[in-house]
């Protein structure tokens, strides 16, 4: 696999150079120029490797391998969250250094997508003929709405079974439900002229700033804030919203500064941070509910906060709404995905688990549940499979995201074997 490894590293680096975060759309570029260019780069690469491809109106594309009547999906995405702050490397440089490829999307999810493509290439070169039609599907709107998947369902046929290389090893059997809401806290006379922070609903806010009507140096220091001219500034650390404890929220210190001056701010803190209505007490075998307030804005006399909620996989969303209704704040749902919950002993999970055990020698590995959401839940029977593993430093949705070249080698090995076993 050495030749494939070298080529995969170069192709991942090339893909990372496209800033494929969501930007202004056009009729030809539904998610912006970066996503458009990245998708067409990926499909052109697949064609050079000898595969037939399809581009569905620049929303989403697919690479085809085999001609079986039954279909098998590998669901990846090429879009990324915004770079955010705090990088020591160029987030869109694709730099290969210190045994790693650096940049936004290396792990989530361009690196794994490229690895799946080269796994197909390796199988093709060996003369492997799958009994199923393998569809390597690459979307461009996973991070901000799934419009790419909705479009695919309208214009193509989604397989029933497959995996998504967009989470963790050994294999994911359950994903929590995802609920993103925008809460409105009315303010009669705000103690600030401006307040804003956060760039993505599924990314812990790493920067927030406000312009108070009057600045208190003592209070700013007490809340851990910087004073920059007439502004107060809070700096945090980004992380995936499904694991908010792994980051450092920049919104709360700003809200604390104004807490004693505004009942609306106090109410927001009580509901979202102090959890006075017990949202975080909801739990099952897939873990506790988590809340991550990720975007805050002050607009037209209202404090608007977008919160990302990951609720237990065996629970109905109605239980979450019952708690939210007690906040006494108007809110609207801006995104919802039902949970995924598979049989741990089913063929798909068992096969992927055996592949991981055989490729790593970790015979005690067991299926796990996560708070993140992947394209796997777009399938009737879908599981997430890699690329991260227990003990890895957290890099997804963070500054200085990377994937090690060693991990790329493991992904090539795992994905090649998984495809072979599941489509033989």
What CATH number should be reported for the domain whose range is 177-337? 3.30.70.360
Average pLDDT of the segment spanning 29-56 = 98
Helix (H, G, I), strand (E, B) or coil at 302: strand
Average pLDDT of the segment spanning 142-147 = 93
Average pLDDT of the segment spanning 386-408 = 96
- Do the two domains 2-176+340-423 and 177-337 of this chain adopt the same fold? no
User: What DSSP letter does each residue of 146-192 carry, written as one string?
Assistant: -HHHHHHHHHS---SEEEESSEESS-EEEE-EEEEEEEEEE-SS-SE
Please check the confidence at residue 145 and state whether its pLDDT lies above 90: no
**pLDDT per position as a tens digit, 153-181:** 999 999 999 999 999 999 999 999 999 99
Q: Where residue 318 falls among pLDDT bands split at 50, 70, 90?
A: very high
Q: How far apart are CA 240 and CA 38, in angstroms?
A: 22
Q: Where residue 133 falls among pLDDT bands split at 50, 70, 90?
A: very high
The highest-level CATH class for domain 2-176+340-423 is alpha beta
Q: How far apart are CA 58 and CA 134, in angstroms?
A: 20
Q: How far apart are CA 160 and CA 174, in angstroms?
A: 17
> For residue 145, which of 337, 384, 380 has the smallest C-alpha distance?
337
Q: Where residue 3 falls among pLDDT bands split at 50, 70, 90?
A: confident
- Known catalytic residues? 79, 142
The pLDDT, as a whole number, for residue 1 is 72
Cβ atoms 179, 317 nearer than 8 A: yes
Q: Where residue 355 falls among pLDDT bands split at 50, 70, 90?
A: very high
Q: Where are the domains of the chain?
A: 2-176+340-423, 177-337
Rounded to 5°, angle at Cα 239 from 237 and 240: 160
């Amino acid at each position: 696999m050495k030749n494939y490894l070298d080529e995969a590293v170069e192709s991942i680096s090339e893909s990372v150079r496209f800033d494929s975060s969501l930007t202004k759309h056009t009729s030809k570029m539904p998610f912006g120029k970066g996503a458009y260019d990245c998708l067409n780069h990926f499909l052109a690469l697949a064609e050079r490797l000898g595969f037939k491809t399809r581009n569905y109106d620049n929303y989403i594309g697919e690479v085809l391998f085999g001609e079986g009547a039954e279909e098998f999906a590998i669901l990846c995405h090429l879009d990324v969250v915004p770079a955010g702050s705090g990088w020591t490397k160029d987030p869109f440089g694709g730099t290969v250094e210190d045994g790693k490829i650096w940049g936004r999307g290396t792990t989530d999810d361009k690196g794994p997508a490229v690895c799946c493509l080269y796994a197909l290439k390796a199988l093709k070169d060996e003369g492997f003929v799958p009994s199923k039609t393998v569809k390597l599907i690459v979307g461009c709107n996973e991070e901000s709405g799934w419009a790419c998947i909705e479009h695919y369902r309208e214009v193509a046929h989604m397989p029933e079974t497959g995996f998504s290389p967009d989470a963790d090893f050994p294999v994911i059997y359950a994903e929590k439900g995802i609920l993103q809401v925008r809460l409105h806290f009315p303010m009669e006379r705000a103690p600030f002229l401006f307040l804003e922070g956060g760039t993505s609903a599924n990314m812990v806010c790493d920067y927030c700033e406000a312009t108070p009507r009057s600045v208190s140096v003592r209070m700013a220091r007490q809340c851990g804030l910087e004073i920059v001219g007439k502004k107060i500034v809070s700096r945090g650390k980004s992380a995936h919203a499904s694991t908010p404890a792994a980051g450092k929220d920049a919104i709360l210190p700003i809200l604390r500064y104004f807490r004693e001056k505004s009942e609306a701010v106090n109410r927001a803190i009580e509901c979202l941070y102090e959890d006075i209505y017990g949202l975080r007490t909801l739990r099952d075998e897939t873990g506790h509910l988590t809340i991550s307030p990720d975007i805050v804005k002050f607009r037209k006399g209202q404090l608007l906060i977008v919160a990302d909620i990951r609720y237990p996989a065996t629970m109905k969303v109605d239980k979450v709404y019952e708690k939210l209704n007690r906040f006494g704040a108007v809110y609207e749902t801006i995104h919802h995905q039902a949970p995924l919950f598979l049989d741990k002993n089913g063929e798909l999970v068992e096969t992927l688990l055996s592949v991981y055990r055989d490729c790593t020698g970790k015979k005690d590995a067991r299926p796990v549940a996560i708070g993140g959401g992947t394209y796997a839940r777009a399938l009737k029977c879908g599981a997430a499979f890699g690329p991260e593993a227990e003990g890895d430093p957290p890099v997804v949705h963070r500054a200085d995201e990377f994937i090690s070249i060693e991990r790329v080698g493991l992904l090539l090995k795992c994905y090649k074997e998984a495809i072979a076993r599941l489509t033989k």
